[in-house]
Structure 1
């Protein structure tokens, strides 16, 4: 297991609500001294107390280490203004409401007050980074750093450069993300980025199934979480396709095209791989390359992972939102 880097110095989180507060918690636990700032000092102070209280409960529930409440109380402090928060900070994370006008107003103040070398990230989930950057002084030091809800516990983070971002700052931002125990992924500045484009595509198709009377919402959720969703903690869609066989995937697309020729048109990359005989793990290569000698190791890992996932689900029991019967 590789050790995490430890953060040093001062960081600022602008917007201390649910998302910003969670980001402040994980930065502090990674070693940073974090200043939080919100619409006024009273709001920031109340949110700091909430973060400490949450940390106590998380520690009791063994979700945070035992030292977390004291560490967060020591390292998270309240700034009286946005300008005060960013003074001397090496990294600033903006986590204000998802409205371009608010982000522009806040980032205009933040970037004017921060030192020119201070890197500034935005936790936006939907707004193009290039559009937000229009209000940032020295926009080359600005990029998206999108944590997911709940920030303390979801490990994936989108790192999104806009066209004007200085690429030399990206590795340092990725190091910050890794220090919090999370996994950065570099994403281009495109509508929906990766997370929400995939998430909402799935939701749209799920809604159509319910609208068409194919299944009710509870049964759609059951299928998602107990089939392909069961695989997703371990493998992404390309790894899953490679293991299933890309020729099988191509056949399934063609079958769906009988009813929806445009909606399920065969992806060009899939057709190209199959045409070149790259059928996934059974041919030694597909979207990802897995040498033939490592396939048995991959299959053994997959099988262990799925059994352990089921054991974890059995241990936790059904989620409160799930129907237990009909």
Structure 2
């Protein structure tokens, strides 16, 4: 199925950013919100923002003209979803609001229209009960800010047709984003990891080990710096899983079982699979690409360091 016309329901910060990306990608996008006035105001805001982004070199020079051609505002949610191929719901992260809006959407649109929800953490299976014909419903979790963050999680419930996930994956790729299919569980992958880190960071502060400013300095200039370019498994395999296992042993001595080495990690190390240094870890990295990969890593880190120096410290934050 080819997606040509899209409704974005919820035209705030997230929904507006999603609408910009989809419209700039060539789709005809209709904004729907609590009423036509809000949707029209959001459209004008997005046009002005696109011009500002273009002036700053963040969007293509013709972005405002492309949005003017591809982005419209509807008088109601029901009007917005009429005759579209795909609907993405991007209302606030509230079960009550999503229940009402998803009910209105699925009652008003055609029965074969694909419906996506931009929930950050609510399981798709729970939201599917508010949608008629739940086989056309899935999670499409964009990251904030949508115009600039590449990743989009695709989450199918037990009801979702695989063909619809295929269609949305193709759409996401066509607008320059990076889709990843993940399981339907609270928080999915991105927010399960993100909130685990955040909780541990708060505990570090509560225990008096560092200030919030110092924690941010450590993260953004250490492992967080690496995470801008590689995921945790690639970083671990390059560092050496034996190093990780040894570190977990030290951490567990102080913090207990919650910092014990995961069984999968311990089994790999026991089997002599230490990552890149032994040719196999969690990832199957081609040993013949070892030198090339490490050269890429070093070049990428140097380029990122240069970029950060050019940008300077974030305004208002410790650099």
- Residues 1:89 and 2:84 aligned together: yes
- Residues 1:285 and 2:267 aligned together: no
What's the counterpart of residue 11 of structure 1?
A: 6
Cα displacement string for residues 268-302 of structure 1 (whole angstroms, at most 9, x for unaligned residues): 11011112211100110100011221100000000
Q: Secondary structure at the match of 1:258?
A: helix
What's the counterpart of residue 232 of structure 1?
A: 227
- Residues 1:43 and 2:38 aligned together: yes
Cα displacement string for residues 76-129 of structure 1 (whole angstroms, at most 9, x for unaligned residues): 101111121111111100001111111111111111221122111000001111
What's the counterpart of residue 4 of structure 1?
A: none
What's the counterpart of residue 132 of structure 1?
A: 127
Cα displacement string for residues 199-247 of structure 1 (whole angstroms, at most 9, x for unaligned residues): 1111111111111111111111111011111111211000111011111
Q: Tell me, yes or no, if the aligned pair for 1:8 and 1:31 is still in contact at 8 Å.
A: no
What's the counterpart of residue 15 of structure 2?
A: 20
What's the counterpart of residue 181 of structure 1?
A: 176
Deviation at 1:9, TM superposition (A): 2.0
The within-5 A match list for 1:122-161 is 122-161=117-156
Q: Secondary structure at the match of 2:253?
A: coil
- TM-score, scaled to structure 2: 0.98
Q: Distance in 2 between matches of 1:115 and 1:16?
A: 22
Alignment RMSD (CA, Å): 1.1
Q: Distance in 1 between matches of 2:126 and 2:256?
A: 35
1:162 aligned to 157, 161, 165, which one? 157
Q: Tell me, yes or no, if the aligned pair for 1:8 and 1:33 is still in contact at 8 Å.
A: no
- TM-score, scaled to structure 1: 0.96
Q: How many residues align?
A: 318
What's the counterpart of residue 266 of structure 2?
A: 271
Q: Tell me, yes or no, if the aligned pair for 1:25 and 1:51 is still in contact at 8 Å.
A: yes
Q: Secondary structure at the match of 2:258?
A: coil
Q: Tell me, yes or no, if the aligned pair for 2:3 and 2:86 is still in contact at 8 Å.
A: no
What's the counterpart of residue 3 of structure 1?
A: none
